[in-house]
Chain A
């Protein structure tokens, strides 16, 4: 793209797709914004009217709002912590030369290919169910009272289920990062007298910094909108214990038929996601020089 001519030609060529993408994004956003200022309930058709910030006031004062915000942050933070720490640990383990390495790697990556609803149901019925679940049976085998995970520790259970799904992704990214570590640097550190832990903190971890930020960024984007796992396991309950922002918007729109309120919630979620993205981008800017 050296000359002015080439550049304007290039702009002309990409214009259709840019316009399409822009419309693709702006139409739903605009409509959501529009609905968020309307009193619009599906149970009362034909009664739509402009309410200004009424929907926002209503959504923000919903008793579930602050709890769901808190739940969202705990869930995202918890899953990030588990997948990053666990991902690094697993990546280091499967990077070791072991027998059947190829198969082990495929097995480790497998959960990523399971649909969220399916994996959540598998966890719910086959692991966490106090009567039939594996965990319940194990605790009974030891003579202990089985734990009803989804009602006693619902948010923690959701975190475990979603972490299980996202661990492979983190592991995969960390593994490629680990393998790009210069072996001469490792050998130099070895000669400099650095033990395993010193090599990990001084060499491996800083080297993986970039991969860690990428994992955090991508996962955050997807985790803010976790929905299916909550729907099929706890339905946001008990009470509000596993209601996240996404789930709250869903209950507003499809259980209370309040499209206006749900749209306002959606806009609030978008704003929150952008605040998170802003901080993440600054964090990335620091590690990606």
Chain B
């Protein structure tokens, strides 16, 4: 069981208010991702849940039990840190067994659990090595192993993949998703990589300056962003925003069109622009285009789109895929 409820949780460091007040419900078994720009308070929120920071006011409930004043170890949560935080002088085996040893579990049961974790995470051959003798991905797996042996009611991850290279990150992303499917334990995952958020989450929490901007499933946020901030944050490459007369024509302060929602043509379209950069990925082509009115946009064309820099193209926003925002940035 691992349902977590935050009730009006506030956190200040001295004078600075980092979390001005957050209400959030995380259901048992859910994979929740906190995203937001750097410094918005994602780690702080996670550490509040973990108990590594004291809340300034508000309540944290785990399975209905008020744990606000409880020590981290008593909350039954496990955390995976960005730096992995493995114990450098202990073997992998002892690292993974450490929480069990601290809980005073019998030796035989410890060994059984370590063996099972090693099997799940393919750590068998490395059990007698020190963390210093492992690669980044292996260290990451040891950190996860140390978390799962305790059979916690929820896992907390703070940007666990940010120290890995791109290919490994994709692999570990899938592994963590599989782990969640197998264990069906609540996971709270912090990242500023919105691809991780979109691919892994059951529920995304978008944060800005310590406030929750929107909570919803990945596709909810993609299709129905409540404001310009969420719209710009979710989706890669970012949504294009056009202001001025173009927006006014549609009765909005700003309109947003995702790169994949442009209809590109050589002969006709609503707006004309010049290609400044073309990125050919094989599967897609990203065209960076400067429009006649000076706006800079990115358009995505599936497959190969033969184009030379400086060429003029016509663009039309696909009907029904245009997002409108008012002066406050709220979606209309």
Say yes or no: B52 contacts A193, CB within 8 Å. no
Which B residues touch A198, using CB under 8 A?
102
- CB of A269 within 8 A of chain B? no
Cβ–Cβ contact A192 & B99, under 8 A: yes
Q: Is B89 touching A207 in the complex (CB atoms < 8 A)?
A: yes
A187 touches B87 (CB 8 A): no
Identify which of residues 188-208 in chain A touch chain B, using a CB-to-CB cut-off of 8 Å.
188-195, 198, 202-203, 206-207
Query: Is B72 among interface residues, defined by CB-CB distance under 8 A?
Result: yes
Q: Is A185 an interface residue (CB 8 A)?
A: yes
Closest Cβ–Cβ distance, residue B70 to chain A (whole Å) = 12
Cα distance, A36 to B294, chains bound together (Å) = 93
Tell me, yes or no, whether A182 is within 8 Å of chain B by CB: yes
Does A49 have its Cβ within 8 Å of any Cβ on chain B?
A: no
Knowing A184-B81, A198-B102, A202-B98, the reply to whether A191 touches B50 (Cβ < 8 A) is yes
Q: How far is the CA of A192 from the CA of B71 in the complex (A)?
A: 11
A190:B81 contact, CB within 8 angstroms: no
- Return the CB mask of B77-93 against A: 1 if under 8 Å, else 0: 11101110111111000
**Which chain B residues in 38-60 approach chain A with CB under 8 Å?**
50-52
A184, A188, A189, A202: which has the most chain B beta carbons within 10 Å? A188
Q: Is B73 an interface residue (CB 8 A)?
A: yes
Residue of A nearest to B89 (CB): A206
Check if B146 is an interface residue, CB within 8 A of chain A.
yes
Asked if B103 is at the interface of the complex by the 8 Å CB criterion, the answer is: yes
Question: A190-B52, A207-B89 given as contacts; is B102 within 8 A of A182 (CB)?
Answer: no
Minimal beta-carbon separation of A211 from chain B (angstroms): 14
Asked if A188 meets B89 with Cβ closer than 8 Å, knowing A193-B103, A198-B102, the reply is no
A202-B79 Cα distance, complex, nearest whole Å: 19
Q: In the complex the two chains form, is B73's CB within 8 Å of A188's CB?
A: no
Known: A192-B98, A193-B103. A202 touches B73 (CB 8 A): no
Tell me, rounded to whole Å, the shortest Cβ–Cβ distance linking A55 to chain B. Answer: 49
Task: Given A184-B81, A198-B102, A202-B98, verify A191-B87 contact (CB < 8 Å).
Answer: no
Given A187-B52, A203-B87, A193-B81 contact (CB < 8 Å)? no
Min CB distance A22 to B, Å, is: 38
Count of interface residues, chain B, beta-carbon cutoff 8 Å: 24
* Closest residue on chain A to residue B80 by CB atoms: A188
**Min CB gap A180→B, angstroms:** 12
User: Interface residue count for A (Cβ, 8 Å)?
Assistant: 18
With A187-B52, A187-B81, A202-B98 as known contacts, state yes or no: A193 contacts B87, CB within 8 Å. Answer: no
**What chain A residues lie within 8 Å of B72 (beta carbons)?**
187, 190-191
A187-B52, A206-B89 are contacts. A194–B102 as well, Cβ < 8 Å?
Answer: yes
Chain A nearest CB from B89 CB (Å) reads 4
Give the secondary structure class of B's interface. loop
On whether A189 and B81 interact (CB within 8 A), knowing A194-B102, A198-B102, the answer reads no
B83 touches A182 (CB 8 A): yes
Tell me if A191 and B89 are in contact (CB < 8 A).
Answer: no
A266 to chain B, nearest CB (A): 41
CB distance B83 to A191 under 8 Å?
A: no
Give the docked Cα–Cα distance between A70 and B87 (Å): 40
What sequence of 0s and 1s flags, for each residue 164-186 of chain A, a beta carbon within 8 Å of any chain B beta carbon? 00000000000000000010110
Neighbouring B residues of A206 by C-beta, 8 Å: 87-89
A280: min CB distance to chain B, Å = 20
Q: How far is the CB of A208 from chain B (nearest CB, A)?
A: 11
Which residues from chain B contact A193 at a C-beta distance below 8 Å?
Answer: 73, 99, 102-103
B78 A191 Cβ-Cβ under 8 A: yes
Alpha-carbon distance A209/B88, docked complex (angstroms): 12
Instruction: Indicate whether A191 sits within 8 Å of B79 (C-beta atoms), given known contacts A185-B85, A185-B87, A202-B98.
Output: yes
Kindly identify which residue among B73, B78, B85, B89 contacts A182, using a CB–CB cutoff of 8 Å.
Answer: B85
Q: Distance (Å) between the CB of A270 and the closest chain B CB?
A: 36
For the complex, give the distance between the alpha carbons of A198 and B101 in Å.
10
Q: Which residues of A contact B (CB under 8 A)?
A: 182, 184-185, 187-195, 198, 202-203, 206-207, 209
Given contacts A192-B102, A206-B87, 14 further A-B contacts (CB under 8 A): A182-B85, A184-B81, A185-B86, A185-B87, A188-B81, A188-B146, A190-B71, A191-B77, A191-B99, A192-B98, A193-B99, A193-B102, A202-B98, A207-B89
Q: Can you list 27 A-B pairs, Cβ within 8 angstroms, ordered by A?
A: A182-B83, A182-B85, A184-B81, A185-B86, A185-B87, A185-B88, A187-B79, A188-B85, A188-B86, A188-B146, A189-B98, A191-B50, A191-B52, A191-B77, A191-B78, A191-B99, A192-B99, A192-B102, A192-B146, A192-B150, A193-B102, A194-B98, A198-B102, A202-B87, A206-B87, A206-B89, A207-B88
| Smallest CB-CB A-B distances: 8 pairs | A193-B73, A192-B99, A188-B85, A184-B85, A193-B102, A206-B89, A184-B81, A191-B72
